Structure 1
Amino acid sequence: MKIAVYPGSFDPVTFGHIDIAVRAAKIFDKVIIAVMVNPHKNPLFTVEQRVELIREAVKDTPNIEVDSFLGLLVHYVQRKGAKVIVKGLRAVSDFESELSMASINWKMYPDAETFFIPTNSKYSYISSSLVKEIARHGGIIEDFVPPHVEEAVHAAYKLQQNK
């Protein structure tokens, strides 16, 4: 079984992320969307919330699993028995940083290859940071995220404003 791991912070998950995951699921037997736990970041959503938002977004793709991990990606990939790391590329600038990470991952775990998937052009300008910035200022994000994610983002910012 060819298992691929698609890592990221997914804070929040966007149509671009979903597109990459679903396309990867057409290539690999199983794709694990792995939400990274980064104690140095201050995310909008908890890891558990992000996992649930992603699960809902990919529920119609049976060979996608959603999980989270703390620590090095290569250790997680090894534990899962995966041989592929999936990375989405929006722009040339993404490739530069992702290539560097792929090289380091390969050095630490040569059995795993990094598989780059270019983002569909209709999603190439979308990023989680941009979605949060737009929502923070009351903008409409329905073109960037599924309805349940849009609702969660707006609720999270309302909660922050009421504190």
Structure 2
Amino acid sequence: MSETQDNTTYRKAIYSGTFDPITNGHLDIIRRASNIFDEVIIAVAKSERKGPMFSHEDRVKFTEASTSHIKNVRVEGFDTLLVEFATQQKVNTIIRGLRAVSDFEYELQMGYANSSINNKIETLYLMPTLENAFVSSTIVREIIRFDGKFQHLVPKEVLECI
């Protein structure tokens, strides 16, 4: 944690992902994290190896548009290890979303790996509300590929950008 000029603690966190595209589930976690932390950095990973549907620039733009109404959130693109990005941003808390038990094993491994690289990094797991528990970018991309109805799964700003 960092100190402000008046010696009060200023709490920052990073919520990272490919956000391909950002969904209502992501936005749910972002809103909740913004209520816990003074500043939340939404870190949009380039993740070319995942072969994203949308360009990195578009994903950053979608995320900025979707979060512009949340005053203590800023969006940054990155193309490094998350732990390196967190260190550059002087952040020691990483937010991860857990939709189901199936997410937990992977996220736990990632949390341990991050901590092994920088033992000052803490990972905080948040669960989305029940209405968003099934929403994932993978599901949204698949629905888009088949011209299905996906409008209820993404923020309205994403629809305007697409």
TM-score by length of 2: 0.91
Q: CA deviation at 1:131?
A: 0.6
Range with bigger deviation, 33-42 or 124-133: 33-42
**Residues 39-58 of structure 1 deviation map (CA, whole Å, 9 limit, x = unaligned):** 21221111111111111111
State the identity as a percent.
39
Q: CA deviation at 1:151?
A: 4.6
Q: Could you tell me which of 138, 142, 145 is aligned with 2:154?
A: 145
Structure 1 unmatched ranges of 5 or more = 154-163
Alpha-carbon distance change, 142 to 39 in structure 1, aligned in 2, over 3 angstroms: closer
Instruction: Name the structure 2 match of 1:131.
Output: 140
CA RMSD of aligned residues (A): 1.1
Contact 2:65 2:158 in 1 (8 A): no
**Residues 129-149 of structure 1 deviation map (CA, whole Å, 9 limit, x = unaligned):** 111111111111111002232
Question: Residue 67 of structure 1 aligns to a residue in which SS?
Answer: strand
Counterpart check, 1:24 vs 2:30: no
Q: Could you tell me which of 26, 36, 46 is aligned with 1:37?
A: 46
TM-score by length of 1: 0.90
Contact 1:89 1:116 in 2 (8 A): yes
1:14-163 equivalent positions in 2, closer than 5 A: 14-153=23-162
Question: Residue 149 of structure 2 aligns to a residue in which SS?
Answer: coil
CA distance in 1, matches of 2:78, 2:63: 15
Structure 2 unmatched ranges of 5 or more = 1-9
